[in-house]
């Protein structure tokens, strides 16, 4: 049996990472027919869009994609392709395991960090309901808000204010917290922590928290607790070993998943998955690092481990274990790893992206 999988090569260092990850997944022995697609800044110059329709058609057909990093311009330009894919394909769950592998440089190397971030992917401030400062629409929203909330007015001028709206729904919250509990059950995890700011945002985060508590009643075998988001940041830094599965709304999940990645050595070792009812896209947590494009320098671990998550999604657990064990062995040995995984980043034995992938393939064989 061969699986149909879309491989989105991305831009910046994306194509190098995609090649490394594809070779490692293939080396597990699982048969995959890769449908290679282009997206990002590079293809925009040719097609006039960073996300050609052929990419969407491919992912809708295969229902499974491994995506290399894609650059998102800051402040201007097109919106995040990652966000668009999640919303267009209904990928409501962002799953980001944060696990320490011996040999990785980390201040927490003596702490058994092994937690999973479950992030709601389609609502919250990332829903993109925004009104640009100075536009007629924005000023109308400004006036409406002040009329509806005379005791809590926006304390700025209507001509100088940009506005974002934060939608949180019962159905969206139920769906993601149930995913977190089901993940805990199926992966023998013991606890789910819901993160919020319900003490301040009582009608959005308050709804989130109330819904999480109600769903938790359906899973009496799993411990449940909640944490206010700012306290959660401190808790993760002070005692990350106390946490297991952490479920968050979209914005908090984005921020805390990077914090959690920092506990285990950084984004270079942080895989990710975006999962919906009818498909999934697997991607590294980090960006495209365009300044390193073509240098064969960046760490491929995050995208390779994203390939491992993809194999688990496909039901190929033995192959996923094989790949993860090989990654762990290469990192622990510390010989054939990229510069960021060396104690001394100027170590002359540093290898490149493809050479580290070669070592992982060899470890599997």
DSSP state of 90: T
| Whether residue 252 lies in the annotated active site | no
CB 300 within 8 A of CB 20: yes
Alpha helices, H only, the chain: 14-27, 41-47, 53-62, 81-88, 136-148, 170-186, 205-216, 229-238, 250-263, 301-313, 317-333, 353-364
Asked about 230 being catalytic, the answer comes back as: yes
Candidates 101, 126, 179, 243; catalytic one: 126
User: Is position 126 annotated as part of the catalytic site?
Assistant: yes
Q: Exposure pattern of 346-364 as b/e (b: 16+ CB <10 Å)?
A: eeeebbbbebbbbbbbebb
DSSP labels, 149-188? -TTS---S-GGG--EE-----HHHHHHHHHHHHHHHHHTT
Among 197, 297, 322, 342, the active-site one is 197
Catalytic residue from among 11, 254, 340, 358: 254
Question: Is 197 annotated in the active site?
Answer: yes
Query: Using CA atoms, how far apart are residues 205 and 174, in angstroms rounded to an integer?
Result: 13
Q: What contacts 248, CB < 8 A, 6 or more positions away?
A: 117, 118, 119, 120, 194, 195, 229, 256
User: Catalytic: which of 230, 277, 278, 344?
Assistant: 230
What lies within 8 Å, CB to CB, of 262 at 6+ separation is none
Catalytic residue ranges: 126, 197, 230, 254
């Amino acid at each position: 049996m061969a699986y149909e999988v879309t491989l989105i090569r991305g831009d910046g260092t994306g194509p190098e990472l995609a090649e490394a990850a594809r070779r490692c997944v293939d080396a597990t022995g699982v048969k995959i027919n890769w449908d290679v697609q282009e997206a990002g800044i590079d293809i925009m110059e040719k097609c006039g869009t960073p996300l050609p329709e052929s990419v969407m058609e491919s992912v809708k057909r295969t229902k499974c994609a491994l995506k290399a990093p894609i650059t998102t311009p800051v402040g201007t330009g097109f919106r995040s392709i990652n966000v668009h894919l999640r919303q267009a394909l209904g990928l409501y769950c962002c799953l980001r395991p944060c696990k320490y592998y011996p040999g990785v440089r980390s201040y927490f190397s003596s702490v058994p960090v092994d937690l999973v971030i479950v992030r709601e992917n389609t609502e919250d401030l990332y829903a993109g309901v925004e009104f640009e400062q100075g536009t007629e629409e924005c000023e109308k929203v400004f006036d409406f808000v002040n009329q509806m909330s005379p005791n809590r007015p926006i304390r700025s001028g209507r001509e100088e204010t940009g506005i974002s709206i934060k939608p949180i729904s019962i159905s969206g919250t139920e769906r993601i917290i149930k995913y977190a509990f089901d993940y805990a059950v199926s992966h023998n995890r013991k606890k789910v922590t819901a993160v919020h700011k319900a003490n301040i945002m009582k009608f959005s985060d308050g709804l989130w928290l109330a819904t999480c508590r109600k769903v938790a009643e359906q899973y009496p075998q799993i411990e449940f607790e909640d944490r206010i988001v700012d306290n959660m940041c401190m808790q993760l830094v002070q005692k990350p070993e106390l946490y297991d599965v952490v479920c968050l709304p979209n914005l908090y999940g984005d921020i805390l998943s990077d914090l959690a990645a920092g506990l285990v050595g950084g984004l270079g070792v942080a895989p990710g998955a975006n999962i919906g009812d009818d498909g999934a896209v697997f991607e590294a947590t980090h960006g495209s690092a365009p300044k390193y494009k073509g240098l064969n320098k960046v760490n491929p671990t995050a995208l390779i481990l994203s390939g491992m998550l993809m194999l688990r999604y496909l039901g190929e657990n033995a192959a996923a274990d094989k790949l993860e064990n090989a990654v762990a062995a290469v990192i622990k040995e510390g010989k054939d790893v990229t510069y960021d995984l060396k104690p001394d980043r100027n170590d002359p034995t540093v290898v490149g992206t493809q050479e580290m992938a070669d070592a992982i393939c060899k470890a599997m064989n």
